Amino acid sequence: MPIRKIITTPHPVLRGKAKKVVIFDADLHQLIDDMIETMREAPGVGLASPQVNEPLSLFVAEFGDENDEEAPLQLYTFVNPKITKTSKETEVGVEGCLSIPGIVGDVIRPHSATIEGSDRDGNPIKMEAEGWLARIFQHETDHLHGVLFTDHALSVWEPEVDVGQVSSAD
């Protein structure tokens, strides 16, 4: 599985709307597998397909239990994802992005979110997420609509140390 090049701003694909996936075949599976390896190599906790110059409605994420650092990481794949519900409760968190290297920012997002879509085989999935996982899902879904975390950021800055793409960054 090859590592794909992560495109960075101001690449125009990052500002476009991703196309709906309609064919769930070996090519899609290869793209997903490549994205997982690319995300891990970067390293990041999420990666949307536009970030590897494939404007399809798809993202992968890998995250553990934010309250238990020893918990194993869980891998998520969402095809044609939609955030269908968010909490009124919000919180500020530091985000970064593999497509905007060297910048992090404070972003306010809903504390919880319900996401619906399909798995890699086209089967419907629905999940409720809270905390950082909800933040990751919202961040990655934004990528599919041409929205970057800097569009939401209350403030942005260059971190003093290499933080490996801070917190919920992809």
Task: Determine phi and psi for 47, rounding to 5 degrees.
Answer: -155, 125
pLDDT value of residue 160 = 83
- Identify the residue with better confidence: 35 or 169: 35
Residue 71 pLDDT level (bands cut at 50, 70, 90): confident
Evaluate if residue 159 carries a pLDDT over 80. yes
pLDDT value of residue 70 = 77
Average pLDDT over residues 22-47: 97
Domains of the chain, each with CATH number or no CATH: 12-157 (3.90.45.10)
pLDDT value of residue 167 = 46
pLDDT tens, position by position, 102-156: 999 999 999 999 999 999 999 999 999 999 999 999 999 999 999 999 999 999 9
Q: In the predicted model, what is the mean pLDDT of the chain? A: 93
- pTM recorded for the entire structure: 0.91
pLDDT value of residue 170 = 64
Average pLDDT over residues 91-99: 97
Distances in Å between the Cα of 127 and the Cα atoms of 66, 76, 139 are 17, 10, 16
Catalytic residue among 54, 62, 95, 140: 140
Distances in Å between the Cα of 62 and the Cα atoms of 12, 13, 17, 22, 47 are 26, 23, 23, 24, 9
Which two tokens mark 84?
A: 């269908």
* 126 vs 33: CA distance, rounded Å: 21
* 73 vs 55: CA distance, rounded Å: 26
pLDDT value of residue 151 = 97
140 is catalytic: yes
pLDDT value of residue 161 = 66
Evaluate if residue 168 carries a pLDDT over 50. no
